[in-house]
A = this chain, B = another copy of it.
Amino acid sequence: MSVRAAVMEKPHCPVRIWEMDEPEIEAGAVLLRTLAAEVCGTDVHLWHGRLAGVPYPIIPGHVSVGAVEATGGDVADVDGRKLRRGDIVTFLDVHETCHACWHCLVAKLSTRCPHRKVYGITYSAADGLLGGWSERIYLKPGVSIVTLPPEVSPDLWIAAGCGLPTALHAVDLAAIKIGDSVLVQGAGPVGLAACALAQASGATWVGVVDGSPLRRQAALRMGASQCFDVTADMVADVLGATHGRGADVVLEASGNPEAVRQGCEMARDGGRYVIVGQYTDNGPVELNPHAHINRKHLTMQGCWGSDLSHIYRGANALARFGARFPWTGLISRRYALSEVNEALADVEARRVVKAVIVP
């Protein structure tokens, strides 16, 4: 039997459908029937060739959900439960983290391990069905698998998508406490997930900044206390909404370097600022170290990547908070495999909040 997969052969060219062979399943591997995969901003970056070291042709799609089709002998999920055909699972796109180097063992900074590979990004289509935009996904031996709790449908999981673990990592670093005011910069998938998770962490005021009315509306539906357009008055408006002090916590999820200076200005003295949106290089920003950092007694943290704990705990969080926030309403449109070029164009133009591939 053959498997249809959408392949990005090289940057700047239309993605094409390939017919690929169904793989043989090694011991310890798992074959998934793809139920849904995500199109996210990173895929647009891949399409424009903005990431270094990508082994085109690739099958994009790093966050996905599938049903177990076959396993290479006994394979267990992270809870140690043996997988069976039909189980609905997701997995950590990051694989081959070595657990043997200084980054992994001494710095305990596995997201910076130089050996890590990422499904849908740094595996080549020549190596197999190693991305989500495909009817099947091949999980190599050792890929970390999480069975979705019964409360979490495939639709719910993919609606939260890669924004959820990314935002969860950022929210963890922010150490939000009961009663904190939290400002989120950017209302894309990461920012919207951060808006929900900040509320779920005890924030009593969550403001969201975004230049797009569509996204500000999405933020309000996700429970934002107040939204702010990106204007000359924005900083003053946020200060006005936070007793003139600024927010206890600011989470940057915009990707815009200028946002970093504004975020410093909108955080309170002694506040915490987590920068998670600067995943690709969009250029520099001018900061005043005296006014923006030193005198403010500000803590700023860069947040890079996510790991299995964020996937696992994200699944728990959706099981509990899935009904409290309109996650699935974030899915603007579902696309067939044959429509992935449209999906990419829609995400790039920000015509959609969330684009989902249903192969």
Of residues 278 through 327 on chain A, the ones whose CB sits less than 8 Å from some CB of chain B are: 278-291, 293-305, 307-309, 312-314, 316-317, 319-321
Residues in B with CB closer than 8 Å to A282 are: 289-290
How many chain copies? 4
**Given known A279-B294, A281-B288, A296-B304, contact A309–B105 (CB-CB < 8 A):** yes
**Does residue A358 face the partner (Cβ distance < 8 Å to B)?**
no
**Does residue A16 face the partner (Cβ distance < 8 Å to B)?**
no
- Within the complex, the shortest CB–CB distance from A223 to chain B, in Å, comes to 11
Q: How far is the CA of A100 from the CA of B316 in the complex (A)?
A: 18
Which B-chain residue is minimally distant from A149 (CB atoms)? B204
In the complex, the answer to whether B100 meets A78 with C-beta atoms within 8 Å is: yes
In the complex, the answer to whether B168 meets A79 with C-beta atoms within 8 Å is: no
Could you say which of A60-68, A123-131, A171-179, A333-341 contacts chain B? Answer: A171-179
Contact mask for chain A residues 251-273; partner B; CB cutoff 8 A; 1 contact, 0 none: 01000010010000000111000
Q: How far is the CA of A131 from the CA of B119 in the complex (A)?
A: 40
In the complex, the answer to whether B175 meets A175 with C-beta atoms within 8 Å is: yes
**Given known A105-B78, A105-B307, A304-B295, contact A279–B285 (CB-CB < 8 A):** no
**Does residue A53 face the partner (Cβ distance < 8 Å to B)?**
no
In the complex, the answer to whether B312 meets A294 with C-beta atoms within 8 Å is: no
Residues in B with CB closer than 8 Å to A350 are: none
Q: How far is the CA of A278 from the CA of B288 in the complex (A)?
A: 9
Q: How far is the CA of A313 from the CA of B286 in the complex (A)?
A: 35
In the complex, the answer to whether B297 meets A109 with C-beta atoms within 8 Å is: yes
**Does residue A70 face the partner (Cβ distance < 8 Å to B)?**
no
- Within the complex, the shortest CB–CB distance from A174 to chain B, in Å, comes to 11
Could you say which of A2-10, A195-203, A210-218, A232-240 contacts chain B? Answer: A195-203
Which residues of A does B touch, CB under 8 Å? 78-80, 97, 99-103, 105-109, 111-112, 142, 144, 168, 171-172, 175, 177-179, 197, 200-202, 204-205, 243, 245, 252, 257, 260, 268-270, 275-291, 293-305, 307-309, 312-314, 316-317, 319-321
Q: List 22 A-B contacts (CB under 8 A).
A: A78-B100, A80-B102, A97-B99, A105-B144, A107-B268, A107-B270, A178-B197, A201-B201, A202-B317, A257-B288, A257-B289, A260-B287, A260-B289, A279-B290, A287-B287, A293-B300, A294-B303, A295-B302, A297-B304, A299-B299, A299-B300, A300-B300
